[in-house]
Amino acid sequence: QVVETQFVLSFVHRFLEHRGATTYFAFCYPFSYTECQDMLAQLDGRFQDCRHMSPSSPLDSVYYHRELLCHSLDKLRVDLLTVTSCHGMQEKRELRLDKLFPDTSTPRPRRFTGKRVFFLSSRVHPGETPSSFVFNGFLDFILREEDPRAQMLRRMFVFKLIPMLNPDGVVRGHYRTDSRGVNLNRQYLHPDPELHPAVYGAKAVLLYHHVHSRVLPGSPDWRTFVSPLSTSSLSTKCPNPPVPDAEAALSELNKANNARNSPGARSCLDQDTRPSDSADRDAWILPSSHADEHCEEGAQRPPSAPLPEATEPPEPIAPRDSGLAYYVDLHGHASKRGCFMYGNSFSDENDQVENMLFPKLISLNSPHFDFTGCNFSEKNMYARDKRDGQSKEGSGRVAVYKALGIIHSAPLPLCHPSPHTLLSPCAPRAPLSVACAVQVGRAVAVAALDMAECNPWPRIVLSEHTCLGNLRAWMLKHVRGLRGAGGGPRRREGVGTPPRSSTGLPTSASDNSLARARSFSNGTSGSGGSQQDSPRIRASPSFTFGSPRP
């Protein structure tokens, strides 16, 4: 029934416990706003010395910084965490962006050279609590002080993390909406700082680091600083591509906000809410003069750049030149089971290979991640919700791609944990436990190491691919097979042929993939006798992919 504009679900339960016992009812394992704040308070105490760190601090020290990004509509905290090492630390601090970071008593974090940003967010849909467990697993892993994998990750990236994007919905017990009943994951195209402060803040941080965290030519490669704990030599391949000059970079700030979001690409709902004065919205990620007055000591205001002429638009920053390396938004799925990822669709096959390579590497690092359940289709980028008709074009995944063009922009949904059902080989797509979700979070972090070929303890060498180059070649063949099957003549499928998933694979392969991963981890063959491998590029034993044979 509806009570004061709120839906109320009623049911009857017979209590069998003794009188006075406490009984909890939950759709899945809960993780509340209070628990999140308690966890962050413990981390504040654990890393309280980080506030005194300087460029002269030991390089492999963990740099942890917590700050208030903004307040929600209900005046709850939306926290932003920064985690990295002291490699490349500057005396300068990041600038305060307009309408964000209201707590001026807390300084902004230090700036770092030679590092790109890995952005991770969670709980934009408040009822999807599995996202918090994946987030916690990821955060716990990158904060490990003695693990050489975590050390290498901190050398390579500056991690920007938002543990709870929608605290109002979490506190109120909502499933997908904020206190106003708005789905915040459809507001990323044109977020309003007054109505959607957390989404506005998240996008502002993303656009800011897209420009200001680029790796400049001549910057040191921090991966060459080999940890004494490392058991293997690390890649010394220079990851520093050339970048546009400073003036083009500053003008890109204006371009990135709305140039890719042309009027023809907007949804009808966004057109109705778009302010008429677009000039004010173009500069919303630039530090205002008011904000500059509160910049910490050592922070310098960037030189002003003339606005680009209408006839000569600035060149966009190429995805490989962006200061943003990864954007991952964590979710939970109420109907699909297992853990998977939704990715964007790229017309360029090499970009699509890189797009699909990251979740494939996650699957090699976690038996709980189902690559065959992933969806990289263009249809899934612009589909409309059955509930309210809103387009996924306004989701973080698609909007960030449209604004920045980066390849690794994806949400990671997983099914809701069941308190009585654990993942097992006989039921490979059963609901995940909290421990499984935490392990997936660790696998997301390790996969970023594998992408850069900097994992001192790689698991890919145990697969049939043996190295990233072979896996990339296999993925290229797989992408070409999918596009050939979709664009050209398709093999007729009989009644007994199982339907194909969004990756082009039979759903039966998806159902059995986790069991194969478990079998492979035990040293047994993971593929059936009917699956034939290519003589040149063999399929991974963890999952039986491969395009239909002629």
* Residue among 119, 100, 404, 381 at smallest CA distance from 257: 404
Q: Residue 300's pLDDT is what?
A: 41
- 280 pLDDT tier (thresholds 50, 70, 90): very low
State the residue for tokens 């090492």.
Answer: 85
Q: Residue 93's pLDDT is what?
A: 96
What's the CATH number where 62 sits? 3.40.630.10
Among the listed ranges 4-13, 135-144, 391-400, 434-443, which one has the minimum average pLDDT value? 391-400
Q: Is 346 part of a structural domain of the chain?
A: yes
Q: Mean pLDDT, to the nearest integer, of 148-156?
A: 96
Residue 310 · residue 317 · CB < 8 Å: no
End-to-end CA separation in angstroms for the chain: 57
Distance CA 127, CA 131 (A): 9
Q: Mean pLDDT, to the nearest integer, of 354-374?
A: 93
Q: Is 504 part of a structural domain of the chain?
A: no
Query: Rounded to two decimals, what is the model's pTM?
Result: 0.73
Q: Is 20 part of a structural domain of the chain?
A: no
Q: Mean pLDDT, to the nearest integer, of 436-454?
A: 95
Among the listed ranges 52-56, 156-160, 298-302, which one has the minimum average pLDDT value? 298-302
Q: Mean pLDDT, to the nearest integer, of 500-520?
A: 42
Query: What percent of the chain lies above the pLDDT cut of 70?
Result: 67
Q: For residue range 188-247, what is the model confidence (pLDDT) as tens digits? A: 999 999 999 999 999 999 999 999 999 988 888 888 755 444 444 344 343 333 333 433
Q: Mean pLDDT, to the nearest integer, of 127-147?
A: 96
Q: Residue 30's pLDDT is what?
A: 93
Q: Residue 48's pLDDT is what?
A: 95
Among the listed ranges 115-124, 246-255, 314-323, which one has the minimum average pLDDT value? 246-255
* Residue among 75, 73, 69, 177 at smallest CA distance from 123: 177
DSSP secondary structure, 254-279, as one string = HHHHHSSS-GGGS-HHHHHH--S-HH
- Residue 382 sits at φ, ψ, to 5 deg, of -125, 10
Q: Is 86 part of a structural domain of the chain?
A: yes
Residue 183 has pLDDT above 90, yes or no: yes
Residue 459 has pLDDT above 90, yes or no: yes
- 315 pLDDT tier (thresholds 50, 70, 90): low
Q: Residue 485's pLDDT is what?
A: 65
Residue 27 has pLDDT above 70, yes or no: yes
Q: Is 466 part of a structural domain of the chain?
A: yes
Domain that holds residue 452: 32-219+319-419+430-483
Residues 6+ apart with CB under 8 A from 455: 149, 152, 446, 449
Q: Is 409 part of a structural domain of the chain?
A: yes
- 84 pLDDT tier (thresholds 50, 70, 90): very high
Residue 429 has pLDDT above 90, yes or no: no
Sequence-separated contacts (24+) of 353-358 with Cβ below 8 Å: 353/472, 353/475, 353/476, 353/479, 354/407, 354/408, 355/407, 355/408, 355/410, 356/475, 356/478, 356/479, 357/451, 357/471, 357/472, 357/475, 358/326, 358/408, 358/410, 358/447, 358/448, 358/451
Distance CA 414, CA 340 (A): 6
Query: What percent of the chain lies above the pLDDT cut of 90?
Result: 48
Residue 513 has pLDDT above 50, yes or no: no
Q: Residue 217's pLDDT is what?
A: 87
Number of neighbours of residue 484 by Cβ within 10 angstroms: 14
Q: For residue range 478-508, what is the model confidence (pLDDT) as tens digits? A: 999 888 765 433 333 333 333 444 444 444 3
Residue 89 has pLDDT above 50, yes or no: yes
* Residue among 120, 128, 119, 135 at smallest CA distance from 177: 128
Residue 272 has pLDDT above 50, yes or no: no
Q: Is 453 part of a structural domain of the chain?
A: yes
Q: Mean pLDDT, to the nearest integer, of 341-355?
A: 89
If one counts the domains in the chain, the total is 1
Q: Residue 314's pLDDT is what?
A: 53
Q: Is 295 part of a structural domain of the chain?
A: no
Q: Residue 470's pLDDT is what?
A: 95
Task: Identify residue 301 by its one-letter amino acid code.
Answer: R
Residue 153 has pLDDT above 60, yes or no: yes
- Residue 364 sits at φ, ψ, to 5 deg, of -75, -20
| More confident position, 310 or 473 | 473
* Residue 199: exposure state from Cβ atoms within 10 A (0-12, 13-18, ≥19): buried
